[in-house]
Amino acid sequence: MSDVYRGLAARFADAIVDQDYEAAHALFAKGLAAAVSAYDLEDRIQGAIDEVSEIIGLESAAHPGAYSVTQAPATLEELRGPRPFDPPREIAADVTPETFRRWMRVRFAPGPGSPVEIDAWFDVWIVVVESASVPAVGYFEIVDAD
């Protein structure tokens, strides 16, 4: 996996762990940044945290404190294609075969010393794009950690 693309995913994940949604939003490509605000990103992340908190019966506030990054083999055509149980992904038009670089998973987990006893909070899958030699997040989706 290219260190540049892994570095982008790690900066995105660090911003989420630090609850710095403006910094995470600053890593978005132009089309995604126009469609999803920093507030929207925060709301979606908090929704995923709330969902897991309810399932495990957590009554106090908690937040991911760690993450791991992996790459998955996929083409943009596959990602835009039909999915058997889910609606199609709404990937911005500025994500093209020429700008598409990677499909990556960021798995968010409790941090060291966390009282939360789960393996993972949730996964954020991201499309990494590159425009003018600058990597950016062109699309993201939040899913249950499998």
List per-residue pLDDT tens for the chain, 146 residues long.
569 999 999 999 999 999 999 999 999 999 999 999 999 999 999 999 999 988 888 877 788 999 999 999 999 999 999 888 888 899 999 999 999 999 999 999 998 888 888 899 999 999 999 977 899 999 999 999 87
Contacts of residue 2, defined as CB under 8 A and 6 or more positions apart, other chains included, come to 101, 102
At the topology level of CATH, where does 3-143 sit?
Nuclear Transport Factor 2; Chain: A, (3.10.450)
User: CA-CA distance, 72 to 117, in Å (whole number)?
Assistant: 27
Show the tokens assigned to 63.
């937040």
Please give the pLDDT value at position 146: 79
- What is the residue extent of each domain of the chain? 3-143
Q: Among positive and negative, which fits the CA dihedral 32, 33, 38, 40? A: negative
Please give the pLDDT value at position 61: 75
Instruction: Return the closest-CA partner of residue 127 out of 77, 86, 68.
Output: 77
Please give the pLDDT value at position 2: 65
pTM surpassing 0.85? Answer: yes
